[in-house]
Structure 1
Amino acid sequence: MSLPSPAAPSTLRVDVWSDIACPWCYIGKRRLEAALQDFAGRDQVEVVWHSFELDPSAPARQDASMAEILARKYGGGAARAQGMMAQVTEVAARDGLDYRFDVLRPTNTFLAHQLIHLAAEHGLQDAMKERLLLAYFTQGELVGDPETLVRLAQEVGLDAAQTRAALDAGTYADAVRQDEAQARTLGISGVPFFVLGGRYGVSGAQEAQVLRGALEQVWAELHPAPLTRLDTPVAEGCEDGSCAVPETQGAR
């Protein structure tokens, strides 16, 4: 019988690839948060957000609405596009999200991803990710505009001048590209995509109970249960290299 190594990691890292312009990514974030609420090891889970652009060629500003973009991409005209948006809006609402496709402003997300990397260096990555998703899907903010990003960054606690300088210089552009290159290496073609403990991948906006089950499985593998002694009578044995040998009755 082989025993697991006692050197189990103290934390469970969850790496998530997602895009700000992905409606299922916001839903996936909420479901991950719900899964962690009931997870026994939640205080020892580290969530790291990674960049993924669904459309790197998208312009920062465009006149087309999301309905028009969907109709062009998938066909079926305006009716099909409206049906798609209505469906995902209904799903998002069940997870507590208010999607407003009527005010949503399609844009390029490259700069926004750079901002998330800047925020990570200040311990504000999750807050920045959440603020950008809310701004995009609910508030009709143009998250491809540098000045909008500076304002949103200030709201979560980042310095405006530092943020503007980093975006102007493209300080975190390489970090975004590295995330995307890693996604290709891992075979990730759609988001959200969760990597648990660096070894298991979970694709799509899975329900909270599915994510929690995956977390529990990986946690159990990384943190095996300690050995439990059965309640049995005391018997002779050896400890610390020595053995206590009982004297035989009548021995001289």
Structure 2
Amino acid sequence: MSSETPPIKVDVWSDVACPWCYIGKRKFEAGSGLFAGGGEGRGVEIEYHSFELSPDTPVDFQGGEAEFLATHKGIPEAQAQQLLDRVTGIAASVGLDYDYDRLQHTNTVLAHEAIHFAKSQGRQLDFMERLFKAYFIDGRHVGKVDDLADLGAEIGLDRAELKSALEEHTHLADVREDQQAAVEYGIQGVPFFVIDGKYGVSGAQEAQTFAQVLEQVWGERSAAPEEVSA
């Protein structure tokens, strides 16, 4: 296949407050690395899209993560803590040190607006990584204008421009457009990966699974010209 073949486009619906989304990010990165290691000028282009798991969450949630999860899922708090312990262990297996004792649960709509601002500056992937780490590892708040502006500045975004965009909700329509697209795709949970616009992969699958799907798409691209000429 020509080295000029465009990269495989991967659209990812995700929420900053979704523990499986950060885990899925790491597993997809590992899978795309396996795929790219096959040579032939293989490339993957990733674009993130907004999905709010709990849009009714207050900006300043009073309580711990186990309490929130228990209320949200209608389960005993002890069971919720067991779920958090399990996900913490899985996160550790991909090199992520989740700290639920420090985590500040919050509404994520402003974070999604900030992600779209970063996208307009060509820094979406960098900012996604920073926000995930801020939320799950660093215990930073990701639901307020000033906090998000600070985090953006840490990766080189213009703090004043980001703050203004958040205060004016410049990118709220972009967030809603992503959410509507999720409805049209039938996406009900995240992470959700749409690969090459035709294959959907739900959840934080293993790296090998992602690599196999990418390999399949690449193989179909290779076969397409032969099918046309036959």
- Note the C-alpha offset of 1:202: 0.5
1:58 deviates by 0.9
In 2, the alpha carbon distance for the partners of 1:226 and 1:202 equals 26
Cα distance in 2 between the residues matched to 1:118 and 1:223: 36
Name the stretch that deviates more: 39-48 or 205-214.
39-48
- For the residues of structure 2 that align with 1:87 and 1:127, how far apart are their CA atoms? 27
Deviation of residue 44 (structure 1)? 2.1
Q: Specify the alignment match of 1:18 in structure 2.
A: 14
Greater fraction of residues in helix? 2
Q: How many residues in Structure 1 have an aligned counterpart in Structure 2?
A: 221
Q: Unpaired segments of 5 or more residues in structure 1? A: 1-5, 228-252
State the Cα distance separating 1:23 from its structure 2 match. 0.3
Larger Rg: 1
More relative contact order, 1 or 2 (CA 8 Å, 6+ apart): 2
Give how far 1:78 is off.
Answer: 2.3
1:205 corresponds in structure 2 to 204
In 1, the alpha carbon distance for the partners of 2:48 and 2:185 equals 15
Other-structure match for 1:187: 186
Matched residue, 2:30? 34
Mapped partners of 2:52, 2:73: distance in 1: 18
1:108 aligned partner: 107
**Alignment-derived partner of residue 132 in structure 1:** 131
Structure 2 residues not aligned, in runs of 5+: none
CA RMSD in angstroms, aligned pairs only: 1.8
Counterpart CA distance in 1 for 2:106 and 2:176 is 18
Deviations 1:98-150 (A, max 9, x none): 11111111100001011111111111100000000000001111100111100
Give the whole-Å Cα distance in 2 for the aligned partners of 1:130 and 1:43: 23
What letter matches 2:220 in structure 1? E
The answer to whether the Cα contact below 8 Å between 1:89 and 1:98 also exists between their aligned partners in 2 is yes
Give the TM-score, by structure 2 length.
0.92
The residue number in structure 2 matching 1:80 is 79
Task: Give SS of 2:177's match.
Answer: helix
- Residue 77 of structure 1, CA deviation: 2.0
Separation in structure 1 between the aligned mates of residue 149 and residue 212 of structure 2, nearest angstrom? 38
CA, structure 1 residues 70+208, in 2 after alignment: closer, same or farther (shift >3 Å)? same
198-207 or 33-42, which moves further after superposition? 33-42
Structure 1 residues 226 and 178 mapped into 2: Cα distance closer, same or farther (>3 Å)?
closer
Tell me by how many angstroms 1:173 deviates. Answer: 0.2
